[in-house]
Structure 1
């Protein structure tokens, strides 16, 4: 017969190791659940059906811009925030709307009004310095604009940004 004393379970390593694994998994799971409930997924469209139907309207606006031979060169001064657009083509309204759309978070989207000053040149002002990658949309300041130019840029940008009828965004 062996006379070695048996230590109680709570003084041994393995029960505490297994309980530690269990408590770690419960803690991580609870943390992930809280994060999932509190943070909304901004990439999901609630009205995905309506959004899908609007694609044909977007394509029609881009087609109309191509028919009008519209194209633009956009510059945004990183220091002063001055926005300068040179618009070429057959339609030059008095006021344009430039939308900057952030790819992943719609709460960062911005819109600027550009005023026509002369010969297809439009000017506006950005209130803060721009950084990161953006999708750009340019259209007339109307209730239902008939055309739209699109582009993509990473700010700060040293070169002119080309806005064209079939660009990204």
Structure 2
């Protein structure tokens, strides 16, 4: 009553174990290739220089607060026109609005806003602006004296408040 012994390659369990190993190798190889080919951009290479610059940023925001500078930004979702109403003592001819994407630095943009009258500035944003962005507003000069910051999720029909040192939108109220 002996049972015939089948060769190992005709049995289920060796192939199951080989399949698990092959799947683990292929998944780990795929992740290794993806990690080498894609750069996430999250780590700062010159973090020490950025750390030293924080005092300059705080001084710019303190200057904006001392001069009572703030702004209300609106983006027309159809025409992508930017309208900024700036309050306070400052009235430079041009402002730079930096749109900073939270996770991908290659998506960051700098837009120029031109003074038209009584603290109103106009500019043009890219079409179909989407997702969440950090905003920084500074005068267009070699060494800007002040800075306003904000945060927005586009598209939006509401105004975005730019303040010295605190990101806020009209939805916060």
Match of 2:64 in 1: 65
Q: Runs of 4 or more off by more than 4 Å in structure 1?
A: none
Q: What's the secondary structure of 1:49's corresponding residue? A: helix
- Paired residues for 1:153-164 under 5 Å: 153-164=152-163
Please list, as runs of the form range in 1=range in 2, the aligned pairs for 1:1-169 lying within 5 A after superposition.
Answer: 2-168=1-167
CA distance in 2, matches of 1:103, 1:137: 13
2:164 alignment partner, SS class? coil
Q: Determine the structure 1 residue equivalent to 2:170.
A: none
TM-score normalised by L of structure 2 = 0.94
Q: What's the offset of the Cα at 1:158? A: 1.3
Scaled by the length of structure 1, what TM-score is found?
Answer: 0.96
Q: Distance in 1 between matches of 2:38 and 2:80?
A: 32
Q: CA deviation at 1:159?
A: 1.1
- The alpha-carbon deviation at position 43 of structure 1 amounts to 0.7
5+ residue gaps in structure 2? 168-173
Instruction: Check the 8 A contact 2:91/2:119 in 1, yes or no.
Output: yes
Please, what is the CA RMSD of the aligned residues? 1.2
CA–CA distance in structure 1, aligned partners of residues 22 and 57 of structure 2:
52
Question: Residue deviations 1:104-135, cap 9 Å, x none?
Answer: 11111111111111100000112322111100
Are the aligned partners of 2:99 and 2:110 in contact in 1 as well (CA < 8 Å)? Answer: yes
